């Protein structure tokens, strides 16, 4: 042991160096974010709770029940039940997402040809029962009203969801069954 | 009623009053020492510490106390029940009874006995019985290991602790704590700190070890023994150990203040608050406890024993010899 080392050991130099360091951090500002009080805004493009887009004209869900989202969903958590209405229009009877099974990949959003299903920014949902996370059509529409809205939806749509077209209506050159009572079809 | 029995009643009344005052003050200090610890360590780790209960988390110790008080008291089926019941009480009793001889300011002491320092050392070694009994009675391997480590550690460091105080005894010529404080008045800064710097260093190190605090917290090493000797304790019985531990810390700090830092004397007199300097020094020492805890990792067991037996005890003996020679020469 050299003299230098001996002095270091006897006077506990390294311990005092460490103590100086902790004292220095004692006077720095804590980095803690006090979560329920100070909420952190979600990053743009954050994929949170699901929602069904409410159409501006009809006030109903834009979903037509094509089932593409359910088909692409890797965790198979989307369940769609369609039915015939009295005037032979295809109606979406039930549109349900089991949120507890969802992996938030966002493929349903990309697959949807009518941009009818979205992932909102909302991430603070917790409950005591599993039933609360089984989203029915009404709950999904309400989610969209509450956490997304039309303006934000458009912004999200353009920025993050790789749209094939800006026109969210029915494609012009696609055959669409309008379902008139007379059975006349338009092309 | 005669004159003498009236005087006796007055005497007993004054002592009871002092006991109530000291007990209340110390319990409050125990509560807020835990809050202070969490805040200090939090800030040193760039966290905030308790913030939720009350403004800046100031009511946290009270919430903790209430929670522990109302929690279920679980006793392991295989525990040695009578010993299990007695152990925390012994720990707390030993810590509480040491308070009796500590002078908060000139003349304010419950029992001004001539062997005050010896009494405190005796009580602090008695408190390790509580720990050993708890470790044994819990009938759990973690508790048992914690108890064993604690007994080995306390025995080793008690010697260094006692020897480090011998220098003070030589200089003061007394074991009475009030006399020790008064003897310091003619030394630099009104403290034994400068003439007894070696003794003070040994006292601080072995005091931390004696109270089982980091970096010598092997008896309750969370990462290896879960919580050490009180793993199986819950609710109020756990709270008793907790209070005893913090009280032991406060007592060791108080002994340090009385023996090395000049007790209630300070650089100037604060009017109407003769106890102010004592508490200022107490909180500074508690801060140093937490500061050390936030800085240093836990010692390895053989290093701990080496430090105690091969470094601190010979150093303390040397200190005694040097102090004695100087005392004779001057």
At residue A160, the pLDDT reads 73
Residue from A9, A14, A26, A29 to probe the interface with B (highest B Cβ count within 10 Å)? A26
Rg (CA), chain B: 20
Q: Which residues of B touch A15 (CB under 8 A)?
A: 295-296
> B148 in contact with A at a CB cutoff of 8 Å?
no
DSSP B269: P
Report the SS3 class of residue B207.
Answer: helix
Nearest to A32 among B47, B291, B296 (CB): B47
The secondary structure of A22-82, three-state, reads HHHHHCCCCCCCCCCCCCCCCCCCCCCCEEECECCCCCCECCCCCCHHHHHCCCCCEEEEE
> B44 in contact with A at a CB cutoff of 8 Å?
yes
> B303 in contact with A at a CB cutoff of 8 Å?
no
> B83 in contact with A at a CB cutoff of 8 Å?
no
Q: What is the ipTM of this complex?
A: 0.71
Q: Which residues of B295-327 are buried (b: 16+ CB within 10 A; e: fewer)?
A: bbebbeeeebeebbeeebbebbeebbeebeeee
**For residues A87 and A179, is the Cβ–Cβ distance under 8 A?**
yes
Which tokens go with B136? 């044994």
Nearest partner of B257 among B308, B190, B198, judged by Cα: B190
What is the rounded distance in angstroms from the CA atom of residue B150 to the CA atom of residue B209?
10
Q: For A30, which residue in chain B has the nearest alpha carbon?
A: B46
A-B contacts (CB, under 8 Å):
37
Q: For A19, which residue in chain B has the nearest alpha carbon?
A: B295
Q: Which residues of B touch A28 (CB under 8 A)?
A: 46
φ and ψ at B55, to 5 degrees? -65, 130
Q: Which of A49-53, A158-162, B80-84, B141-145 has the lowest mean pLDDT?
A: A158-162
Q: How confident is the model at residue A175 (pLDDT cuts 50, 70, 90)?
A: low
Question: Under 8 Å CB-to-CB from B161, ≥6 apart: which residues?
Answer: B121, B124, B202, B203, B206, B207, B210
Q: For B289, which residue in chain A has the nearest alpha carbon?
A: A19
What is the rounded distance in angstroms from the CA atom of residue B104 to the CA atom of residue B276?
9
At residue A176, the pLDDT reads 54
Nearest to B51 among A15, A21, A34 (CB): A34
pLDDT digits (tens, 9 = 90+) for A57-89: 787 888 888 888 888 889 998 999 988 888 888
Nearest to A22 among B47, B48, B295 (CB): B295
Which tokens go with B196? 């007894």
The pTM score is 0.77
Are residues A25 and B51, on separate chains, in Cβ contact within 8 Å?
no
CA trace torsion B199, B202, B204, B205 (10° rounding): 180
Task: Indicate the length of chain A as a whole number.
Answer: 187
To the nearest whole angstrom, how far is the Cα of A24 from the nearest Cα of chain B?
8
Model confidence at A184: pLDDT above 50: no
Run of H or E residues at A119: strand A117-119
Model confidence at A97: pLDDT above 70: yes
To the nearest whole angstrom, how far is the Cα of B80 from the nearest Cα of chain A?
40
Question: Under 8 Å CB-to-CB from B177, ≥6 apart: which residues?
Answer: B101, B102, B103, B109, B116, B117, B258, B263
At residue A164, the pLDDT reads 56
Q: For A12, which residue in chain B has the nearest alpha carbon?
A: B201
> B294 in contact with A at a CB cutoff of 8 Å?
yes
Q: For A26, which residue in chain B has the nearest alpha carbon?
A: B44
Are residues B295 and A19, on separate chains, in Cβ contact within 8 Å?
yes
Strands (E), B125-279: none
| Structural domain spans, chain A | 50-160
* CATH code of the domain occupying A50-160: 3.30.70.3270
At residue A166, the pLDDT reads 58
Mean pLDDT for A170-176 is: 58
Q: Which residues of chain B register pLDDT less than 50?
A: none
pLDDT digits (tens, 9 = 90+) for B96-137: 888 888 888 777 778 888 888 888 888 888 888 888 888 888
What is the rounded distance in angstroms from the CA atom of residue B300 to the CA atom of residue B175?
35
With 0-12 CB in 10 A as exposed, 13-18 as middle and 19+ as buried, what is A51? buried
| Structural domain spans, chain B | 78-329
At residue A180, the pLDDT reads 46
Model confidence at A181: pLDDT above 50: no
At residue B267, the pLDDT reads 75
CA trace torsion A93, A99, A101, A105 (10° rounding): 100
């Amino acid at each position: 042991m050299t003299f230098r080392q001996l002095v270091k050991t006897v006077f506990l130099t390294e311990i005092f160096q460490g103590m100086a360091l902790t004292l220095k951090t004692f006077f720095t500002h804590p980095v803690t974010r006090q979560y329920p009080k100070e909420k952190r805004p979600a990053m743009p493009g954050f994929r949170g709770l699901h929602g069904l887009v409410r159409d501006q004209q009809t006030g109903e869900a834009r979903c037509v029940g094509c089932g593409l989202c359910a088909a692409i969903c890797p965790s198979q958590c989307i369940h769609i039940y369609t039915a015939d209405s009295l005037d032979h229009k295809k109606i979406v009877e039930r549109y349900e997402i089991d949120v507890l099974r969802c992996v938030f990949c966002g493929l349903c959003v990309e697959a949807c040809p009518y941009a009818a299903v979205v992932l909102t920014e909302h991430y603070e949902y917790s409950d005591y029962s599993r039933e609360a996370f089984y989203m029915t059509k009404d709950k999904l529409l309400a989610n969209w009203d509450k956490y997304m809205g039309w303006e934000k939806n458009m912004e999200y749509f353009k920025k993050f969801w790789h749209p094939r077209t800006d026109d969210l209506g029915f494609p012009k050159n696609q055959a669409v069954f309008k379902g008139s009572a007379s059975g006349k079809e338009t092309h | 009623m005669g004159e003498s029995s009236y005087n006796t009643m007055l005497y007993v009344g004054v002592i009871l009053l002092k006991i109530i005052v000291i007990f209340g003050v110390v319990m409050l200090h125990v509560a807020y020492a835990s809050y202070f610890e969490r805040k200090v360590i939090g800030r040193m780790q760039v966290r905030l510490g308790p913030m939720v209960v009350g403004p800046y988390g100031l009511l946290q110790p009270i919430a903790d106390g209430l929670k522990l008080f109302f929690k279920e008291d679980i006793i392991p089926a295989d525990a040695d029940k009578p010993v299990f019941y007695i152990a925390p009480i012994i720990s707390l009793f030993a810590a509480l009874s040491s308070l009796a001889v500590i002078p908060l300011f000139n003349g304010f002491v419950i029992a001004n006995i001539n062997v005050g320092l010896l009494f405190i050392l005796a009580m602090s070694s008695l408190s390790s019985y509580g720990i050993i009994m708890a470790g044994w009675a819990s009938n759990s391997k973690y508790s048992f290991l914690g108890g064993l480590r604690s007994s080995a550690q306390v025995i080793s460091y008690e010697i260094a602790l006692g020897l480090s105080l011998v220098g003070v005894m030589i200089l003061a010529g007394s074991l009475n704590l009030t006399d020790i404080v008064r003897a310091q008045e003619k030394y630099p800064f009104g403290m034994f700190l400068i003439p007894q710097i070696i003794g003070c260093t040994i006292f601080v190190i072995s005091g931390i070890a004696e109270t089982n605090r980091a970096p010598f917290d092997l008896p309750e090493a969370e990462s290896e023994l879960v919580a050490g000797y009180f793993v199986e304790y819950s609710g109020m019985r756990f709270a008793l150990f907790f209070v005893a531990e913090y009280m032991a810390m406060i007592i060791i700090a108080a002994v340090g203040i009385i023996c090395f830092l000049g007790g209630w004397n300070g650089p100037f007199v604060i009017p109407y608050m003769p106890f102010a300097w004592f508490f200022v020094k107490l909180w500074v020492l508690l801060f140093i406890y937490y500061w050390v805890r936030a800085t240093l990792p836990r010692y390895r067991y053989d290093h701990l024993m080496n430090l105690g037996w091969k470094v601190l005890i010979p150093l303390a003996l040397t200190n005694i010899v040097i102090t004695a020679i100087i005392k004779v020469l001057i």
